[in-house]
Structure 1
Amino acid sequence: MVKNIARSVTITLTILALLYVSFRSNETIDLSKYSTEGLDLNYTVSLDETTVNDNPSALSDSDFEFSPYLGKSFVGFKEALAFKESGGDYNSVNTYGYLGKYQFGSETLKLIGIYNPASFLKNPRLQEKAFIANSARNKWILRRDIKNFVGKRINGIIITESGILAAAHLAGPGSVKNYLRSYGLDNFEDGYGTTVHYYMKRFSGYDTSFIKANREAKAI
């Protein structure tokens, strides 16, 4: 008997609570008492910033670019070099027939085991392997020059390993040897006017310790 009475009271109270909430939800809330007037607000966007909705044409293409900061890491090195070579485009073919993200010539590809340029152009993973293999091969060829010249100043720039490897990618290890051993007098220039000296300077100071010198390095 007592249990039945307690159960009835509980059910009655629950029904009354639900009715109260229902009536309260139908009331109109007076928002006029809630204001930010006089408060010092911290915005994450400048108040004078033009939004896309205000004026979409005010935004340039660069506003939509994703630019992670890679610093002087090895990834930063290869991506910076790729951007200079092709804008980072795996499908790029320049006017001299150089291919892919890193702009390889067909003869260089053969040295690292790639004999089908058309297939290479369609294979981003292989292009990344080719960059590693070619860098490893160049590092072996230039190992003595890296030892002898890194830290020295030539034509106003400090020679670094990353600068040497970048220049070798541009002009081949032989041209880099000539540049270093002539102390900058023999400065190879490619068909677009880019020099060994320019690559030495632009790609100076990156961490290329990831690349291990390997005479027989192959991408396949």
Structure 2
Amino acid sequence: MKKRIRLISPLIMILLFTSFSSESRTEVIVRVPEKLLIKETLHVIYPALPADTPKEWIQPPFLGTSVIGFREALAFKESSGDYFITNTLGYLGKYQFGIGTLQLMGVYNATKFLKNPALQERVFVTNLSRNKWILRRDIPRFVGKKIKGVEITESGILAAAHLAGPGNVRKYLRSWGAHDLADAYGTTISHYMGKFKGYDTSSILPRRNPRVN
């Protein structure tokens, strides 16, 4: 009798597992949110890359229209994502900051800034918060409208402020595009408005005179 029970027990266990798996097997459809879809190839340099390490290109996943996508798209336009570059006009790093802007946020050592990717990322976010505070009245007033055929979005405004400064962006908006300043390389406010429109920058909070921690 005991021998027969030992022989039957494995069969009973197999039947139980089979019944559970068949009952719980349901088709699951996973849909990726629109803002996480990759819509273009963005090459960046990995943030933890030390200054003395050869630069390696990577393609990060799922940037889409998220705030990270905005950051990396803007960085690629500014410097091809290179933390350690200085351009012909003396602008520094991945996001091409000038010395004057860095000093507004409490960064006074350009060499340290250029060698520190983590500091550059903090400065970028801090500057976005600063620009968003300065433009806090203009953003809700103009978002959704069109200037020179380009829809105005918050991310476009913040990108243009990074290019030309928030004061010039305010003049551009309030003049309905008449004050379309260009940088030394000929890139205009209106170009950045269109190129960087539609990203989700809602997680960036406006801050008055923020300093880098």
Is TM-score (shorter-chain normalized) higher than 0.5?
yes
2:152 equivalent to 1:147: no
Match of residue 130 from structure 1: 123
How far 1:67 sits from its partner (Å)?
5.2
Residue from 150, 159, 162 that aligns with 1:166:
159
Aligned counterparts of 2:101 and 2:128: Cα–Cα separation in 1: 11
Moved over 6 A (4+): none
Count how many residue pairs are aligned between Structure 1 and Structure 2. Answer: 157
Q: Deviations over 1:120-158 (max 9, x none)?
A: 000000000000000000000000000110111100011
2:71 equivalent to 1:96: no
Note the 1:1-220 alignment, pairs <5 A: 66=59, 68-220=61-213
Where does structure 2 lack aligned partners over 5 or more consecutive residues? Answer: 1-56
SS of equivalent residue, structure 2 residue 137: helix
Aligned counterparts of 2:184 and 2:161: Cα–Cα separation in 1: 15
SS of equivalent residue, structure 1 residue 89: coil
CA RMSD, 1 decimal:
1.1
Normalised to the residue count of structure 1, the TM-score between the two structures is: 0.70
- Bigger radius of gyration among the two: 1
Aligned counterparts of 1:199 and 1:190: Cα–Cα separation in 2: 11
Q: Deviations over 1:100-121 (max 9, x none)?
A: 0000000000011101111100
Match of residue 17 from structure 1: none
Where does structure 1 lack aligned partners over 5 or more consecutive residues? Answer: 1-63
Aligned counterparts of 1:100 and 1:194: Cα–Cα separation in 2: 18
How far 1:210 sits from its partner (Å)?
1.2
Aligned counterparts of 2:152 and 2:135: Cα–Cα separation in 1: 13
